[in-house]
């Protein structure tokens, strides 16, 4: 029984949710996008990672100070290195009610080793930017360049090769996990689909990843419904890391969680960023959530980026009126 098992992370195991909770938990769009075999199978061979050796060093650095200074070095060393750039990107959806300009002339860059926060209220276009930057949807105009390659012009085969290098973490962890696969099965699945190693090595790797994200490996064979929301998100993060992506796009990854659990997951992202030297696009509807994590923050309103500043500057001297409004919406997570 799950609740007899020892726990490692402080978010507790919970009884299986009712079918009603499950229905509410998973938006079909997220389910389709995150867990379909097509999406997971959407790649072929392995790419060499530009910062693999820097990452190895980071993984082996031990003290927090060592980690922080290794990361600073990585960010400095790669400050010229643009990993992904959206260049004057616009996305117009044609609906029965007319055209929706979801993203309007947005330019954003995520440098290697950097975390870019993207904030703005619901409907401001953040998730659309995320999908465009992942090459999951075509731009109406403008372009997205990932590691020097224009995603809109890449043949499908080359896009599939790039896919493992960009991974997403969604708002709803339960909806993004395969419900009939155990925790370890979920983490092993992308490795299997991408033909990485044999079964035994995939198992070992998945256990390492579960351990890295704070899941007690004794619980590895349990199913997603047997974990709490916070733990489900940890498993989803382990799965996103399995293919050693260069870019992690996190779309409101803490928004469905209780405030205390939000703080723990933010802590986990901070730790992973420092250890692995990941580049992240971290999306939230609230500025306070990205304050701890982001090096720079872009603020969106009605499809446009209204301000983009280093995190510290944005919090101490916001330039835009809309940013000031967002800042005044106090989030408990900021007060902890």
Residue labelled with tokens 């726990």: 7
Count CB-CB contacts under 10 A for residue 305.
Answer: 22
What's the helix, strand, coil split of the chain in %, to 5?
45, 20, 35
173 binds ligand ADP (CB under 6 A): no
122 binds ligand ADP (CB under 6 A): yes
Residue labelled with tokens 């060499």: 48
Is the CB of 27 or the CB of 217 nearer to ligand ADP? 27
Least CB distance to ligand ADP at residue 125 (A): 4
Among 26, 78, 115, 127, binds Mg ion (CB under 5 A): 127
Is the CB of 161 or the CB of 283 nearer to ligand ADP? 283
Is the CB of 53 or the CB of 122 nearer to ligand ADP? 122
Among 126, 163, 234, 273, binds ligand ADP (CB under 6 A): 126
Residue with the CB atom nearest Mg ion in the bound state: 127
Is the CB of 112 or the CB of 126 nearer to ligand ADP? 126
123 binds ligand ADP (CB under 6 A): yes
**Coil/strand/helix, residue 294:** coil
Dihedral (CA of 293, 166, 217, 25) sign: positive
**Distances in whole angstroms, Cα of residue 24 to Cα of each of 16, 170, 179:** 14, 15, 14
β-sheet bridge partners, residue 111: 82
β-sheet bridge partners, residue 149: 146
Is the CB of 127 or the CB of 254 nearer to Mg ion? 127
Q: Give the contact letters, 65-104, x = binds to ligand ADP (CB under 6 A), - = no.
A: ----------------------------x-x----x-x--
With helix as H, strand as E and coil as C, how does 14-67 read?
CCCCCHHHHHHHCCHHHHHHHHCHHHHCCCCCCCCCCCHHHHHHHHHCCCHHHH
Is the CB of 127 or the CB of 274 nearer to Mg ion? 127
Contact region with Mg ion (CB under 5 A), list: 33-41, 126-134, 188-196, 240-248: 126-134
Q: Give me the residues that bind ligand ADP (CB under 6 A), please.
A: 93, 95, 100, 102, 120, 122-128
């Amino acid at each position: 029984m799950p609740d007899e098992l020892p726990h490692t992370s402080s978010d507790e195991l919970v009884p299986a949710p009712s079918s009603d909770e499950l229905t509410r938990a998973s938006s079909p769009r997220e389910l389709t996008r995150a867990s379909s075999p097509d999406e997971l199978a959407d790649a072929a061979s392995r790419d060499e990672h530009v910062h693999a050796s820097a990452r190895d060093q980071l993984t082996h650095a031990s003290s927090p100070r060592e980690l922080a200074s290794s990361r600073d070095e990585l960010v400095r060393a790669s400050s010229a290195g643009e990993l992904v750039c959206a260049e004057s990107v616009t996305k117009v959806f044609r609906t029965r009610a007319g055209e929706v300009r979801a993203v309007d002339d947005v330019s954003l860059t995520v440098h290697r080793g950097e975390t870019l926060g993207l904030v703005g209220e619901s409907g401001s276009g953040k998730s659309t930017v995320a999908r465009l930057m992942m090459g999951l949807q075509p731009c109406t105009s403008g372009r997205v360049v990932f590691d020097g390659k224009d995603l809109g012009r890449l043949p499908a085969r080359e896009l599939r090769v790039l896919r493992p290098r960009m991974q997403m973490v969604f708002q709803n962890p339960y909806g993004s996990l395969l419900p009939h696969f155990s925790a370890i099965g979920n983490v092993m699945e992308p490795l299997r689909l991408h033909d990485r190693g044999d079964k035994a090595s995939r198992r070992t790797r998945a256990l390492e990843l579960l351990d890295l994200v704070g899941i007690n490996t004794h619980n590895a064979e349990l199913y997603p419904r047997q974990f709490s929301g916070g733990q489900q998100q940890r498993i989803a993060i382990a799965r996103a890391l399995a293919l050693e992506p260069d870019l992690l796009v996190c779309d409101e990854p803490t928004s469905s969680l209780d405030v205390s659990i939000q703080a723990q997951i933010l802590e986990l992202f901070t730790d992973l960023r420092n250890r692995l030297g990941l580049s992240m696009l971290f999306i939230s509807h609230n500025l306070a959530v990205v304050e701890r994590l982001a090096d720079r923050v872009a603020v969106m309103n009605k499809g446009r980026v209204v301000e983009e500043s280093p995190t510290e500057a944005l919090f101490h001297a916001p330039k835009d009126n809309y940013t000031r409004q967002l800042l005044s919406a106090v989030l408990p997570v900021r007060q902890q």
